[in-house]
Amino acid sequence: MQYIQQIIFAILVLATFGIAARKYKFVYRNVMLGTQEPIENNPAARIKNTIMIALGQKKMFKRPLAAVMHLFIYVAFMFTQIELIEIFVDGLFGTHRFFRPYLSILYPIIINTIEFLSLGALIATFVFLSRRNLLKLPRFTMSEMNGWPKLDGNLILYAETILVCCIFLMNSADMAHNSDYGFILSGLLTPLWGDTISADSLHIAERIGWWGHIIVVFGFINYLPYSKHLHIMLAFPNTYFARLSPKGEMKNMDDVQQEVASMFDPEAAFAEPDMNAPMPKFGASDVTELHWTSVLAAYTCTECGRCSSVCPATQTGKKLSPRKIMMDVRDRADEIGTNIDLNKTEFINAEQKDQVSVLTAENYDDGKSLFDSISEEELRACTTCSACMEACPIMISPMDLIVELRRNLILEKSQSPEEWNAMFNAVENNGAPWAFSPDDRDKWITDANS
């Protein structure tokens, strides 16, 4: 029987990681659909961000209640990995509590720590379920959270509840069978088993908890890349590669910057243009034109809605929700990636349709773009105030995405409101958004001094 359990466990391990690897590879490839422009190199600052924000949860504590509850789940998750490693060893080699004889007095200390943290995580889980489904906090009931996003947020909390229950079932049944373990919380549960239950029944109960624990973990590993909870893994690379420039500072467009610089260079007027140079591209209209770190941010988004809850456009009834922008980018990346995997050759662009038979990111053209899911009204509502960037607990910048899409609308598609066009003309002609010259603007100074 023992060998059968080992064989079943080994098969489950291979199947779990084999199936999961394909989906994680899919996510990685989709992130790399973005452009590969160079990133500012400052490893010290990036490592600091990763430690303080991804690992240390620094930005979470701007909302203390949610932060403390999240901390219980986060720390419990980290410590439970110790017990999970032991379960892997026991499952593969047929042992039982492999670490106990080696860790001696440390073993019950570790397990007790895990149990107390797990109890805290269970309480936090009930709090989060209540906030989502009973209190219905506004940021969890916005339109983009209907359907799968709402279900996704609840499913992982249900799984967390089952996982903690399996831990206590496993440990309390084991404790009832062997009181020398010294597990405090499980020890308090052992009287519930009664005095008449047999050793075999306790062993079966312990096995149910043990298998239940590991099956939930295996399911979680495969569920993760379909869920917003992928941020558990991606928060670390996302904070490492996040922008280091000050919030609100917008990246200049190289082609525009060069054109402006040439206006101040008399020799540039006589320079021959490079006729072989590719046509410049302004902004982004699709995932493949965004920087890959922006696509990574979309997959990292926790859908917590903190960005939308502080966005002045969202709060004043505008259509814009920064969270929805991130979700739309991720969904579009999934759509493109799925079509590439299925090799839907009907989406090969017209120029290469007769030359190639494999659909790739380079020849992809399905006639759609991000503007099919993100409207002009949403993009124009953004005030570029950086509130969303400040609120995000893992340094995602919806504003950067919005700016790139808006640049494409204006410079590539010539789609901007008449009021904006008047402002653009005034800036070009007068160096300011007002429709009068710099001399007229400064005239009040002369008048004041006369």
Lowest mean pLDDT of 221-235, 251-265, 323-337, name the range: 251-265
**Which amino acid is residue 207, in one-letter code?**
R
Does the structure show a pLDDT above 90 at 321?
yes
- Give CA 183 to chain center in angstroms: 36
Phi/psi-derived region of residue 384, left when phi > 0, alpha when psi is between -120 and 50, beta in every other case: left
Amino acid at 211: W
The domain containing residue 383 runs over which residues? 282-439
DSSP 59-76: GGGGSHHHHHHHHHHHHH
Q: Could you tell me if 224 and 358 lie in one domain?
A: no
Mark whether 229 and 331 lie in a shared domain.
Answer: no
Instruction: Give dist(CA 341, CA 95) in Å, integer.
Output: 42
Residue 350 has pLDDT above 90, yes or no: no
Higher per-residue pLDDT: 260 or 29: 29
Query: Dihedral angle at the C-alpha atoms of 206, 210, 216, 219, nearest 10 degrees?
Result: -140
* Residues 189 and 321 occupy one common structural domain: no
Q: Please indicate, yes or no, if residue 449 is contained in any of the structural domains.
A: no
User: Got the DSSP string for 234-284?
Assistant: HHHHHHHHS--SPTTPPPPPHHHHHHHHHHT-GGGGGPPP-TTSPPP--S-
pTM of the model: 0.90
Same domain (yes/no): 296, 231: no
Amino acid at 298: A
User: Final residue of a domain: which of 215, 241, 267?
Assistant: 241
- How many other C-beta atoms lie within 10 A of the C-beta of residue 361? 15
- Residue 270 confidence (pLDDT) above 70: no
Reduced to 3 states (helix: H, G, I; strand: E, B; else coil), residue 190 is helix
Same domain, 223 and 364: no
Q: Determine the average pLDDT of the residues in 55-81.
A: 90
Lowest mean pLDDT among 68-82, 392-406, 418-432: 418-432
Asked whether residue 161 is domain-assigned, the answer is yes
Answer yes or no: are the C-beta atoms of 35 and 300 closer than 8 Å: no
Domain boundary among 241, 267, 299: 241
pLDDT tens digits, residue range 14-34? 999 999 999 999 999 999 999
Q: In the structure, what pLDDT confidence band is assigned to residue 7 with cuts at 50, 70 and 90?
A: very high
CATH code of 295's domain: 1.10.1060
pLDDT at 271: 63
- Residue 269 pLDDT class (50, 70, 90 cuts): low
Residues with Cβ within 8 Å of 94's Cβ and at least 6 positions away in sequence, in order, are: 2, 3, 5, 6
Confidence of residue 266 (pLDDT cuts 50, 70, 90): low
The token pair at 443 is 């005239």
Q: How far apart are CA 259 and CA 126, in angstroms?
A: 58
Q: Is the pLDDT of residue 378 over 80?
A: yes
Q: Distance (Å, rounded) from C-alpha 165 to C-alpha 213?
A: 9
Tell me the residue type at 201.
S
Q: Is 337 within the bounds of a domain?
A: yes
Q: State yes or no: pLDDT of 407 exceeds 80.
A: yes
Unique residue bearing structure tokens 């429709």: 435
| CB-count exposure of residue 198 (10 Å: 0-12, 13-18, 19+) | exposed
Whether residues 340 and 234 fall in one domain:
no
User: Does residue 185 share a domain with residue 326?
Assistant: no
In a domain, 331, yes or no: yes
- Specify whether the CB–CB gap between 321 and 308 falls below 8 A: yes
206 and 317 inside one domain: no
- End-to-end Cα spacing for the chain: 102
Taking alpha carbons only, the member of 139, 146, 338 closest to residue 226 is: 338
Do the domain assignments include residue 156? yes
| Contact (CB, 8 A) for 303 and 352 | no
Token digits for 249? 């500072």
d(C-alpha 371, C-alpha 129), whole Å? 34
Q: CA-to-CA distance for 80 and 99, rounded, in angstroms? A: 14
Higher pLDDT, 264 or 113: 113
Residue type, 160: E
- What number of other Cβ atoms are within 10 A of residue 6's Cβ? 15
C-alpha pair distances (Å), 240 with each of 47, 100, 107, 246, 400: 6, 37, 35, 15, 17
- Could you tell me if 209 and 90 lie in one domain? yes
The H or E element containing residue 16 is: helix 2-31
pLDDT at 39: 84
Is 315 part of any domain?
Answer: yes
Confidence tier at 439 by pLDDT (50, 70, 90) = confident
Q: Select from 241, 259, 292 the last residue of a domain.
A: 241
Q: Are residues 71 and 213 in the same domain?
A: yes
**Which candidate, 328, 343, 341, 329, places its Cα nearest to that of 292?**
329
- Helix/strand number for the chain, H first, E second: 19, 0
Half-sphere exposure of residue 151: CA atoms within 13 angstroms, side-chain side: 5
Q: How far is CA 42 from the centre of its chain?
A: 22
Examine the pLDDT at 272 and tell me if it is beyond 90: no
Based on the fold, state whether residues 9 and 150 are members of the same structural domain: yes
The verdict on residue 206 lying in a domain is: yes
pLDDT over 60 at 107, yes or no? yes
Instruction: Please state, in angstroms and rounded to a whole number, the distance separating the CA atoms of residues 233 and 225.
Output: 10
Considering the domain architecture, whether residues 216 and 67 belong to the same structural domain is answered as yes
Residue 152 lies in a domain: yes
For residue 35, list its beta bridge partners: 291
Mean pLDDT of the chain: 90
Domain tally, the chain = 2
Per-residue model confidence as pLDDT tens digits over 148-188: 999 999 999 999 999 999 999 999 999 888 778 889 999 89
Q: Give the mean model confidence (pLDDT) for residues 387-401.
A: 94
How many Å apart are CA 388 and CA 315, to the nearest integer? 12
